[in-house]
Structure 1
Amino acid sequence: MTRSLSFALAALVISHASATGAQAPEETREPGEPLTAILQTEVPEPALADFGAALQRVLRAELRSLEVVDIAGTPALGLEDIRLMVGCLSDTPECFEAFAAQLEVEALLLPSLARAGDAYVVSLVFFDGAEVHEVTRQASEEQVEENLVGGLGGMLRELFGLPPEEAAGPVVTDLDAGGATGTVTGTASTSTSRGADGEAPPRRESERAWVPGVVTLAAGAAVLGAGLGVGLAAQASEDDWLATSPGTREEVQEALGLRDEAQRRATTANTLFVVGGLTLATGAALLFLLRGDDDETRATLAPAVGPRGLGLQLRGSL
């Protein structure tokens, strides 16, 4: 049953994306949209792990379509790990506030999935920075797809105090994945644009986000190449100096000139190697930080001070 539900959820994600694909992401955060982390779906049984992961993907898509929060992504740690790390094990506003501070967000959304006998129970807990709100639904195995999966949008609307969505007709998707067949019936969501005169807001040009990183990497590679060339020239000058056997004063002066030239070139090569390496590291950091507008991940670059040096630290959540 759990495997077939996972296939059903995967199909619903595809149908939901097609229903809301015309909506473009926002360029900036709207006023009043709290930066929110969606924690991993809490499941007490390992057998429900795939179901919970698929449920979270549907939840994220529904939440994005409502445009009520700025999604910060899903932390790599689960709720229990965060509780242990913070040292707060209760579900009080004070603990949730500590969790949010640890994750550097303003709000938290905590989905959970459990099984009670023959029924499945889905709970959504939202901490808005001050208060905790919760909505719970349960359904039998026969009604999971309609009441829980297809009803996530309604649960989110109730959680955020939004009016019920008008029905836009069913979305029926035939399943044929991994040998499992079936049909998922959901409700197509109708999204409203925030642009003026009914026009959709401009789409962020995420395909150009990688340009600064690639240009910086290319510059670093060019500097390293130049350093390699100068290093080879320095080695050649040193070989010429070692091969000389001066017998006159002029030949001695010429040999000393070759040695000085080899030293200058070696110093230049070392400098180019250091600059090229730093430039390559900067390019890699830019690719990591500017790799797109996907809210699944969020990364920050911060200085790192150690007892023996300085560096840069990349932090992010998956």
Structure 2
Amino acid sequence: MSSDVRYGVADSVGSLLAAIAHSISEALRIMSFSDKQLWGMDEHEHQRALEEVLDEARKDFQEMGPLVNGDIYYENDRTHDSLQELCLLRDRFQAHALSLREWSRSGGPIDPVWTRDTHRLQRDLHRAQCRAASRIFTSGQEGSARCLGAFLVYRKQRVWSNRQAAGVEEGEYQKRYLEELRTCNRIGTFQRFGEADIAFVCDYCDGHLLWDDLDKMPSVRTAQETVLWPTTPISPSTGDPQWQATGFSHSKHEEKQVVFAPVAIANHTSPHPGDWRARLLCPFCEDEAAVPRDKDDEEDRWRPEATFDDIAAFEEHLLWQHTTQKSSIASTGNCAVM
């Protein structure tokens, strides 16, 4: 981000978002007063794009406050990085409204490139709001913790896991499974990374999770025994976590086991400053560490490893510490299949 972006001492996340909303509304007002008899497809498409930006910005604003213990914390936040990012976006939206004003005065068809730019602004504004909320969330955590996006997926999984022992009908499993996947898609995006890899980019921390040499991202867990679809997060016969999914390599289109995407997404943390890769926590080690100690146990409380640097390290840990299928899977000769 440019270092020459400035904001005033009275600016906050709320005030900058209000200024952005004003620019979008002004752009729509300019278009509403133009001669629609001269409009073509590009003009109508651009108006729809502006309406979508405003609608999503309002929706995001309403959703972020409750995630960080109330609207007042979100609106009044003055975290430097958040203000820098939103100030730059405010200037971009103001420039866009000014361009529309000049277009309305000079006449002629609208530049179709502006619609593409508007969609880009919409995406950037959405991610800026997510990151602003995530910074507030992270500041309230002790030590290394999941980013807000990861926490939203993790929370869904915990509800599922905590009620599994009570018995859940197949239809309820399917419903929760789809909710888990939808939550993943709401907090970030999957995209091709290079020619062979697949990355998930989190909107809340901008961290990247990278699966190496993967043709398509598997959408279901790998069943370790005969079970009803969808496969549950915990094996009903052994009690072991089912964290794997079956995919195919991009290079040879051979079957390979990978970390199921929601497992990784729900347990990532923000990248180190200057890095782009998200780190990962092991939820199964966390659960084991949380088990009450025996009163006669005088040893220091066991603590899980803090974080893993990438998917490959995370998978190797899961392979050797949290599966009963070590021998068959290890025979592939490649622990870090991600």
Q: How high is the TM-score relative to the length of structure 2?
A: 0.23
Q: Which structure exhibits the higher relative contact order, with contacts defined as CA atoms closer than 8 Å and separated by 6 or more residues? A: 1
Tell which structure's C-alpha radius of gyration is larger: 1
Return the structure number with greater strand share: 1
